[in-house]
Amino acid sequence: MHTAGAIPAPMKILIIEDEVKIATAIRDCLASASYQADVAHTGNGGIAFLTERKYDAVILDWMLPGCDGIGVLQWLRHRGAKPPVLLLTAKDSVEDRVTGLDSGADDYLVKPFAFAELLARLRALTRRTAAVDPFQLQTADLILDLNTRWASRAKAEIILTPREFDLLAFMLRHKGDIVSRGMIAQEVWRETNRSTPLDNVIDVHIARLRRKVDSGHATRLIHTVRGVGFFCGESSPTVPS
């Protein structure tokens, strides 16, 4: 529990920059602003840090020997919880900006930059992620990105049809609750006046989702509650009596 006047834990930042002088200057600047920073001088070194530790943000240089900044971003994309990334670069064409942001960078800073500018961008990035991402749904290691309609479990992509994606998103929005076939028919299929019920169609989709989401995993996430409906998650919700 927080007590009045408690000092919050410092934010942890990873700096991936091959130019030692710049990396050291950034680290000193962050330290003076009460951030904790680790420094990697190669893309692969940065990935090693990211594998082992959790960061609040990453300051990533684009041009790196070996695996470059875009390579690091591509690696990060396949991870579930991704820290926000500020991409540093000497490149400043519109195409470069688009490439950087398309690759998953959250912001972009052109070298040379003022440290005050770097700190301002970093504050904005860490503030943005302090709020829960409204475009991401998650239970256990299953993640749905509503923006890109990308689904993954344990960091491996799951290929879903649009209807399967919508059905899974609906279940995840009701995480912890049982959803009935009637709710699914209304909210996912949006067909309320059918002469024949959608039950069989829904059951087929649930069976397919179960195969795609759960096969090969020890923990099952798609569950059927006989006579009631379905739920998605690790722990079983209370069945209403």
Of the pair 87, 137, the CB lying nearest Ca ion is at 87
Q: How far is the CB of 148 from Ca ion (least distance, A)?
A: 29
Query: Cβ of residue 61: shortest distance to Ca ion, in angstroms?
Result: 4
Question: Which C-beta is closer to Ca ion: that of 109 or that of 160?
Answer: 109
Q: Please, what is the minimum distance in Å from the beta carbon of residue 21 to Ca ion?
A: 11
Task: Decide if residue 96 touches Ca ion (CB under 5 A).
Answer: no
CB of 90 to Ca ion, least distance (A): 8
In this complex, which beta carbon is closest to Ca ion, that of residue 42 or of residue 138? 42
Please report how close the Cβ of residue 24 comes to Ca ion at its closest, in angstroms. Answer: 14
Site for Ca ion in 61-80 (CB under 5 A): 61, 63
Q: Which stretch binds Ca ion (CB under 5 A): 5-13, 55-63, 69-77, 206-214?
A: 55-63
- CB-based contact 62:100 (threshold 8 Å): yes
Q: Is the dihedral of CA 199, 201, 207, 210 positive or negative?
A: negative
Pick the piece of the chain touching Ca ion (CB under 5 A) from 5-13, 53-61, 111-119, 170-178: 53-61
Among 18, 141, 145, 177, binds Ca ion (CB under 5 A): 18
Contact residues for Ca ion (CB under 5 A)? 18, 61, 63
